[in-house]
């Protein structure tokens, strides 16, 4: 499971497998917590999930790390992977490569001052641009877990490789309709990014959560994804 940890967003990744589901009630509580609870409560839920055996990847802004160094170090000590999320919450596709590099260097500096190791990056709002990838390589970032917001070919270091826009469903769907909409994306190794204003919002949230939990899910780290884990990775971005 991966999460965004800063003022605006929280998110998670889960993988569909043939095995059983790890702590479905905990996942449901996390969904609800991340959408309407305060930051301290969200952090407490994340710690609880880790202590119950779920391995989590946390993508955090540099400004968040500066204000919450102790919590980030505690999560890393519990076995969580901590990833870069920029210093400010600025969408890379709206920045020049030079400005993107300056922001990311500031984030890296904050991580290093805090003593937090990292290898991955997730773009704020998942919004990457082609000019960002040379910067990531130059700064020693191993992978990106974002989305390429252009018609350009995906960069080899990009791990978010599929996207479905939830407004494709324009009426009140039933479970079968949602399943039909998801099925083309349930391919081994592919990532489905869903925004809560559609599937996970008030209107479609309950039926979608039931479908997700019925798929048979287990949590994995980004490192496991890079080693070739197969299934559906569901990335949920709780935006402002």
The pLDDT score that the predictor gives to residue 103 is: 96
- The answer, yes or no, to whether residue 203 has pLDDT greater than 90, is no
Q: Give the mean pLDDT of 21-38.
A: 39
User: How does residue 154 score in pLDDT terms, banded at 50, 70 and 90?
Assistant: low
The pLDDT score that the predictor gives to residue 236 is: 38
Taking alpha carbons only, the member of 164, 170, 135, 160 closest to residue 4 is 160
The pLDDT score that the predictor gives to residue 175 is: 56
The pLDDT score that the predictor gives to residue 184 is: 53
Sort 229 into a burial class: Cβ within 10 Å, 0-12 / 13-18 / 19+. Answer: middle
The pLDDT score that the predictor gives to residue 179 is: 57
The pLDDT score that the predictor gives to residue 93 is: 84
Here the CATH number for the domain that contains residue 77 is: 3.20.20
- The answer, yes or no, to whether residue 157 has pLDDT greater than 90, is no
Q: What is the 3 state secondary structure string of the chain? A: CEEEECCCCCEEEEEECCCCCCCHHHHHHHHHHHHHCCHHHHHHHHHHHHHCCCCCEEEECHHHHHHCHHHHHHHHHCCCEEEECCCCCCCHHHCCHHHHHHHHHHHHHHHHHHCCCCCEECCHHHEECCCHHHHHHHCCCCEECCEECCCCCCCCCECCCCCCCHHHCCCCCCHHHHHHHHHHHCCCCEEEEECCCCCCCCCCHHHHHHHHHHCCEECCCHHHHHCCCCCEEEEEECCC
Q: Give the mean pLDDT of 7-20.
A: 36
- The answer, yes or no, to whether residue 174 has pLDDT greater than 50, is yes
- The answer, yes or no, to whether residue 110 has pLDDT greater than 90, is yes
Query: Which of 20 and 101 is assigned the larger pLDDT?
Result: 101
Encoded tokens for 72? 């980030």
Find the domain containing 78 and state its range: 2-237
DSSP conformation class of 158 = B
Q: The whole model's pTM is what?
A: 0.60
The domain tally of the chain equals 1
């Amino acid at each position: 499971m991966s999460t965004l940890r800063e003022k605006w967003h929280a998110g998670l990744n889960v993988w569909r497998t043939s095995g059983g589901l790890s702590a479905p009630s905990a996942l449901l509580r996390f969904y609800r917590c991340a959408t309407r609870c305060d930051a301290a409560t969200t952090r407490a839920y994340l710690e609880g999930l880790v202590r119950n055996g779920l391995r989590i990847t946390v993508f955090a802004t540099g400004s968040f790390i500066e204000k919450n160094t102790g919590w980030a170090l505690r999560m890393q000590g519990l076995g969580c992977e901590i990833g870069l999320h920029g210093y400010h919450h600025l969408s890379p596709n709206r920045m020049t490569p030079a400005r993107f590099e300056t922001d990311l260097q500031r984030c890296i500096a904050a991580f290093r001052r805090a003593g937090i190791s990292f290898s991955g990056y997730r773009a704020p709002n998942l919004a990457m641009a082609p000019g960002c990838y040379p910067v990531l390589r130059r700064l020693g970032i191993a992978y990106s877990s974002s989305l390429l917001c252009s018609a350009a070919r995906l960069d080899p270091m990009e791990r978010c490789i599929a996207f479905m826009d939830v407004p494709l469903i324009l009426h009140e769907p039933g479970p079968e309709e949602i399943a039909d909409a998801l099925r083309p994306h349930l391919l081994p190794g592919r990532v489905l990014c869903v925004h809560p204003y559609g599937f996970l919002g008030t209107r479609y949230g309950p039926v979608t959560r039931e479908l997700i939990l019925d798929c048979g899910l287990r949590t994995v780290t980004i490192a496991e994804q890079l080693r070739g884990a197969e299934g559906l990775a569901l990335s949920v971005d709780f935006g402002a």
